[in-house]
Amino acid sequence: MQKLSNRLDYFTESVIRKMTRIANDCGAVNLSQGFPDFDPPRELIGSLKEAAEKGPHQYEVTWGSKEFREKLAKKQERFMGIPINPDENIVVTCGSTEAMMVAMMSVCNPGDKVVVFSPFYENYTADAILAGAEPMYVPLVPPEFNFDKEVLRQAFEQRPKALILCNPSNPVGKVFTREELIYISELAKEYDTYVITDEVYEHIIFKPNKHTYLSSLPGMFERTICCSSLSKTYSITGWRLGYVIASKEVIDNCKKVHDFLTVGAAAPLQKAACAGLDFEQEYYDELNNTYERKKKLFLDGLDEIGLKYFDPEGAYYVLVDISEFGWDNDYEFCKWMAKEIGVAAVPGSSFFREDVNNYIRFHFAKKDETLIEAINRLKKLKNS
Ligand code: GLN
């Protein structure tokens, strides 16, 4: 038999999703794969029931229903501060996972280089390789997770086609400052490079940090492919609703890729999610307050146990330093912790390109009682 595709030789299955299966197998509190264990807003559940009764149940316009795109354009214009044409600048996708793949395939040719900050969300390497591109890594250096400007410039000197920017970043929780983003945008313009952003945590930003959309910086709309989703903002990760926002030229390509990959995101779910896109500012303030509170609850627990971590500026993850436990394999540590301590996390090595084995990632998008239970179980770490 002929060998199957060799593209798949360069990456493994997702460790994040594997940890969820391990957590389920051993009944651990699952703080690995980032998704809430609480319900979405009532309005969305109501509109989902209504969509089940009234439809639509057939294909929508392949790049998203008109109503959804119009409401999304209005919402994003408000937050991003730039004009967005619902017909020309948006493709609605099956989650931001598809959005990122669509962006990559729309921008890159086989052999193109793509710069990725490390640590990074594990899909990016797979996306680049599946698109035939070659990922190159620029470290976000622990413990502060800043990048060295000169190292980034050297990466651009290799003429990459694109840079991937996850902001707020998963797994670090870093919110890139306006000054850092201006530096990145100047390099992108100087070296004629596209920037594919993953901004799914755009509405989870801890004070006093502020989210700056790269697309809104001078001269960046035409070279930024903004990918995001409704998953984290409305606690509907299973609805798989994401989108790409970019210039008409880029979106025309994205529409083609998306059309042949998936045809379209689920029609009744697009209809139901419109209720969320209509929410006023109050909803987003409340969401942020909820996550500020959950972050404090979880980090206070980590402090009480005496664990060291990077204090996240945004998103809902925290990287914890496990050096003191003396394991040289963080994956083995996570499997042991799920089984013996009863809490699942993701081994940091699945995010780092560098040989780093002393971090694990927890997420805190869980009910308060789930987080309290996790902290109580984690207390056993210090005496095991
Ligand atoms: N973004 C989430 C995480 O990092 C999971 C997303 C997914 O598994 N599709 O855990």
The pLDDT tens digits of the residues spanning 27-80 come to: 999 999 999 999 999 999 999 999 999 999 999 999 999 999 999 999 999 999
Q: Please compute the mean of the pLDDT values over residues 220-236 and round it to a whole number.
A: 98
Total number of domains in the chain: 2
Q: Please tell me whether residues 265 and 199 are part of one structural domain.
A: yes
**pLDDT at residue 12 is higher than 90:** no
**pLDDT at residue 10 is higher than 90:** no
Task: Please name the residue whose Cα sits nearest to atom 9 of ligand 1.
Answer: 97
Q: Please tell me whether residues 157 and 306 are part of one structural domain.
A: no
User: pLDDT-based confidence at 376, cuts 50/70/90?
Assistant: very high
In the reported structure, the alpha carbon of residue 34 is separated from the centroid of ligand 1 by a whole-number distance in angstroms of 5
17 within ligand 1 shell (Cβ under 6 A): yes
H/E element holding 161? Answer: none
Q: Please tell me whether residues 28 and 162 are part of one structural domain.
A: no
34 within ligand 1 shell (Cβ under 6 A): yes
97 within ligand 1 shell (Cβ under 6 A): yes
Residue 28 structural domain:
6-40+282-383
Q: Please tell me whether residues 27 and 58 are part of one structural domain.
A: no
In a domain, 142, yes or no: yes
Residue indicated by tokens 């109503």: 67
Q: Please tell me whether residues 65 and 187 are part of one structural domain.
A: yes
Which ligand 1 atom sits closest to the C-alpha of 170?
Answer: 4
Tell me the CA distances in angstroms from 364 to 112, 204, 315, 344, one per residue in order: 36, 12, 9, 12
In the reported structure, the alpha carbon of residue 69 is separated from the centroid of ligand 1 by a whole-number distance in angstroms of 24
Rounded to two decimals, the pTM is 0.96
Tell me the CA distances in angstroms from 227 to 90, 91, 146, 338, 379, one per residue in order: 10, 10, 23, 32, 38
End residue of a domain, out of 221, 248, 279: 279
**DSSP-derived pairing of the beta strands 29-30 and 242-245:** unpaired
**pLDDT at residue 383 is higher than 80:** no
In a domain, 1, yes or no: no
Q: Please tell me whether residues 11 and 49 are part of one structural domain.
A: no
Task: Please name the residue whose Cα sits nearest to atom 2 of ligand 1.
Answer: 34
pLDDT in tens, 102-112: 999 999 999 99
Count helices and strands in the chain by DSSP H and E runs: 12, 13
> What SS3 state is found at 280?
coil
347 within ligand 1 shell (Cβ under 6 A): no
In the reported structure, the alpha carbon of residue 171 is separated from the centroid of ligand 1 by a whole-number distance in angstroms of 10
CB 342 within 8 A of CB 361: no
CATH number for position 10: 3.90.1150.10
CATH number for position 235: 3.40.640.10
Dihedrals phi, psi of 99, to nearest 5 degrees: -55, -45
Q: Please tell me whether residues 286 and 330 are part of one structural domain.
A: yes
End residue of a domain, out of 236, 264, 279: 279
Q: Please tell me whether residues 359 and 299 are part of one structural domain.
A: yes
Which ligand 1 atom sits closest to the C-alpha of 363?
Answer: 10
Q: Please tell me whether residues 237 and 100 are part of one structural domain.
A: yes
Burial class (CB in 10 A: 0-12, 13-18, 19+), 210: exposed
Q: Which two tokens stand for residue 263?
A: 């045809």
Q: What angle do CA 251, 44, 56 make, to 5 degrees?
A: 60
Q: What percent of the chain has pLDDT over 70?
A: 100
Helical ranges in the chain per DSSP H:
15-26, 42-54, 66-80, 95-107, 123-130, 149-157, 178-190, 248-262, 267-277, 281-305, 330-336, 368-378
Q: Please tell me whether residues 28 and 66 are part of one structural domain.
A: no
User: pLDDT-based confidence at 9, cuts 50/70/90?
Assistant: confident
Burial class (CB in 10 A: 0-12, 13-18, 19+), 133: buried
